[in-house]
Structure 1
Amino acid sequence: MANKVMVITSEVLGNGPEELGKLLMKNFFYTLTSAEALPGAILFLNSGVKLLVEGSVAAESLQVLAERGVDLLACGTCLDYYQLKDKLVVGQVSNMATIQEKMLQAETVINF
């Protein structure tokens, strides 16, 4: 799946109660850590960048994914907007040009 890219645009998964959405996102990434096939990159935009910072429900699982070779790229503009750039604990700050390039070069882009 190295030629596949995931785009995360929210800190919650799905529509409904925020608490449930955070639980679902935490479980999604935890489950992904044990998958054989991983995406080459996961791109975090908008409030999705909150998953990469201190206190995130998914930071531990995302660290495992990073250690397994998945590129975790956070939108720098989004981190600035939420004033979270100094709280990043996993992944790296990126820019829209790089994020766009990753998406355009991917065979498959999975959005959620």
Structure 2
Amino acid sequence: MKRLDCKGLACPKPVILTKKELEAMDSGELEVVVDNETAKENVTKFAKSQGYSFEYTEKDGLYYIIIKKVQPKDAEECPVMDFDVISGDKRPVILIGSNVLGKGDDRLGSALMKSYIYALTESDVMPSTMIFINSGVKLTTEGSEVIDSLKTLESQGVEILSCGTCLDFYGLKEKLLIGSITNMYTIVEKMNNAPNTIKL
């Protein structure tokens, strides 16, 4: 079994190194060692998205993630497929980098952002994914005035992602109310694969 030590590495390095190591393997098991829960979540989500089986244990503040890669002919289950690629999804990805919309007065910017996200719920064309980074993560956590609109969007099939590093920076990780935590590698992949990215 190969071992990959990712202790002390910042997002998204653990995911990128795990991806490269698995790509270099024909089959077998890879043990990835990380030292924080965000890295553990990012690595296990990546493994799940690629159809790999995995398990993890925690000891003395470290997470030991064992990922199993098998040859396609030996796999018991088909790998998880990318729905957007299969369906030819033409919906945009929206990247929200602030909790206010536009530059100027923050009170006005907050009202504009609230209005924009509500208007999205009434739009004929929904985004495939909404990604929240920097202070934008304040919109997906406790105290946000747009949670109800985001819940409506999520119920209509919009994927809601918040940057894990950003949530940690603002001390909001435990206050996330909607969607899931993501990492910079996934953000780059989502933006690269989108037919159009709208940045606010």
Q: Which 4+ stretches in 1 moved above 4 angstroms?
A: none
> Corresponding residue for 2:142?
54
Q: Which residue of 2 aligns with 1:43?
A: 131
Answer whether contact 1:22 1:57 (CA < 8 A) is retained: no
Q: Are residues 1:83 and 2:171 paired?
A: yes
1:10 paired with 2:98, answer: yes
In structure 2, distance between residues paired with 1:73 and 1:55: 17
**SS class of match (1:73):** strand
**1:51 CA displacement:** 0.3
Supply the AA of the counterpart residue of 2:151: Q
CA offsets 1:15-49 (integer angstroms, 9 cap, x no match): 11111100000000111101111010011110001
Q: Percent identity?
A: 47
Q: Aligned-pair distance for 1:3?
A: 3.3
Structure possessing the higher radius of gyration over alpha carbons: 2
Q: Using CA pairs below 8 Å that are at least 6 residues apart, which structure has the higher relative contact order?
A: 1
Q: Distance in 2 between matches of 1:35 and 1:101?
A: 25
Aligned residue identity for 2:93: V
Task: Report the Cα distance in structure 1 between the residues aligned to 2:111 and 2:125, rounded to whole angstroms.
Answer: 23
SS at match of 2:181: strand
Structure 1 unpaired stretches of 5+: none
Give, in whole Å, the separation in 1 of the partners of 2:103 and 2:148: 24
Q: Which residue of 1 is the match for residue 159 of structure 2?
A: 71
* TM-score, scaled to structure 2: 0.55
Distance 1:92 1:22 in 2: 23
Contact 1:2–1:41 (CA under 8 A) maintained in structure 2: no
The AA in structure 2 aligned to 1:58 is: V
CA distance in 2, matches of 1:10, 1:69: 23
* 1:68 positional shift: 0.6
Residue type of the alignment partner of 2:195:
E
Residue 108 (structure 1) aligned with residue 196 (structure 2): yes
The alignment partner of 1:15 has SS state of coil
What amino acid is the match of 1:52? T
Q: Shift of the alpha carbon at 1:71? A: 0.5
Partner Cα distance (1:4, 1:91) in 2: 18
Q: 2:90, 2:195 within 8 Å by CA — same for their partners in 1?
A: no
